[in-house]
Chain A
Amino acid sequence: PSYTLRYFNMIGRAEACRLLLTAAKVKWTEEHPEWPQEKEKQPFGHLPVLIEKRADGSELVLSESSTIERFLARTYGFLPLDPTQSAIQEQIRDEQWDVLNAFIFVIMVHGDEDKKAGMDRFNDLFNRMVKVHMGILNANANKKHLFGDKLSFADI
């Protein structure tokens, strides 16, 4: 199959999707829809959106960056199919976005009180995340990957 990724021309919430498509060595292109003109045309009214075109002509349209990432990672072997092994990697990705969403909240609010409360929460989450990740890296013998000895979903 070949893929089209619709997003903005930035890292944002789509870079992991781009890296997974690249690592999977599939044909893919990118579209940067006019925004907000194209908002209403997207299934959930936001980006990223992934379109998979299969050889039989059928299409799958997915939204939600974390769903898109997991779908590509599972399909192309970057996430184990075994639910137990997969869950250990997925929780790292989910945790990381809790931290990033907390930071995004700080960027978007205007009041000083809102910003301070937001930053306190972000700092707490971020410091904990760094501690956890260092623990996992140190526990993996080769110290170059988070899990196993080749590129995985969690690494990306």
Chain B
Amino acid sequence: MASTTNTPSYTLRYFDGIGLGESIRLLLTAANVEWTEEHPEWPQEKPNQPFGRLPVLVEKSTDGSPDFVICESSNIERYLARTYGLLPADLRKAALQEQLRDQMMDVVIAFSGYARSISEEDKKARKEAFEEIFEKFIALLTKILQDNGSTGRLFGDSLSYADIAIYIFFKNLILDFVRLVADIVDYAKPKVTSEIIKLISTVETDPKLTKFVLKSGDLTAAVSA
């Protein structure tokens, strides 16, 4: 549990919420490294960030060299997942996981467009676009889970990057996005298939994550109720 002199430690800079930071928190937890979190004053600290946005990951060196700082949530996630074995080194197998995370972001962007829309005309069009891409995504995930033996894992037989990324997608949708669209849970919860519920509970009971994963809420309970 304690880090060796060769293992780096990390600081995550983000807001105090699930958003685009929670997958990173879970990856750091699964990696079993030392890490802390900073919640910069916002927007005062915006100019102090490399790309003016959060999250930012700082990897503190152990040999006096400058800290390694990276941005962009998916980039940070892939970096940690590759470094700590949650993404396979095989490029093809990794690509099959990464495309799910990227597709998830397309669904989130569609939701964001819907949540941001102002005119009635746009709201209607964006709601339809979101629902279409969301339902297709559910069907795709369910099929992948079935093809992997309905074990509650998307790939292989141990916790993967894709499992974490998809778990966080549903955590945001069910536990947080109601502040953006009031009836989103009424719409989305009935569509969550039993295979996906099993993925959620498999992630929440994984020994690598149990000490941390429920701090942001119990998603298994929320989708099963």
Residues of A within 8 A of B (CB): 43-46, 60, 62-68, 70-71, 74-75, 83-84, 86-88, 90-91, 94-95, 98, 101, 105, 108-111, 113-114, 117, 128-129, 132
* Bound-state Cα–Cα, A43 to B106, Å: 14
The count of residues in chain B whose C-beta lies closer than 8 Å to any C-beta of chain A is 38
CB pair A114 B103 closer than 8 Å: no
> Taking chain B's interface residues, is the majority helix, strand, or loop, or is none over half, making it mixed?
helix
CB pair B79 A83 closer than 8 Å: yes
CB pair B70 A67 closer than 8 Å: no
CB pair A111 B136 closer than 8 Å: no
Distance between A131 CB and nearest chain B CB, rounded to angstroms: 9
CB pair B51 A128 closer than 8 Å: yes
Decide yes or no whether B52 CB sits under 8 A from chain A.
Answer: yes
Q: Which residue of A lies closest to B96 (CB)?
A: A62
* Bound-state Cα–Cα, A128 to B113, Å: 22
CB pair B82 A83 closer than 8 Å: yes
CB pair B122 A114 closer than 8 Å: yes
CB pair B72 A90 closer than 8 Å: yes
**The residue from B52, B53, B91, B116 contacting A114, defined by CB atoms under 8 A apart:** B116
* Bound-state Cα–Cα, A117 to B116, Å: 9
A-B contact count (CB 8 A): 98
> Taking chain A's interface residues, is the majority helix, strand, or loop, or is none over half, making it mixed?
helix
Decide yes or no whether B131 CB sits under 8 A from chain A.
Answer: no
* Bound-state Cα–Cα, A67 to B103, Å: 10
CB pair B113 A105 closer than 8 Å: yes
Distance between A82 CB and nearest chain B CB, rounded to angstroms: 10
* Bound-state Cα–Cα, A109 to B113, Å: 9
Q: Which residue of B lies closest to A129 (CB)?
A: B51
List CB contacts (< 8 Å) of B48-97 with chain A.
Answer: 50-53, 68, 70-72, 74-76, 78-79, 82-83, 91-92, 94-96
CB pair B95 A87 closer than 8 Å: no
Distance between A84 CB and nearest chain B CB, rounded to angstroms: 6
- Chain B residue numbers with a CB within 8 Å of A43 are 140
- Chain B residue numbers with a CB within 8 Å of A105 are 113, 116
Distance between A45 CB and nearest chain B CB, rounded to angstroms: 5
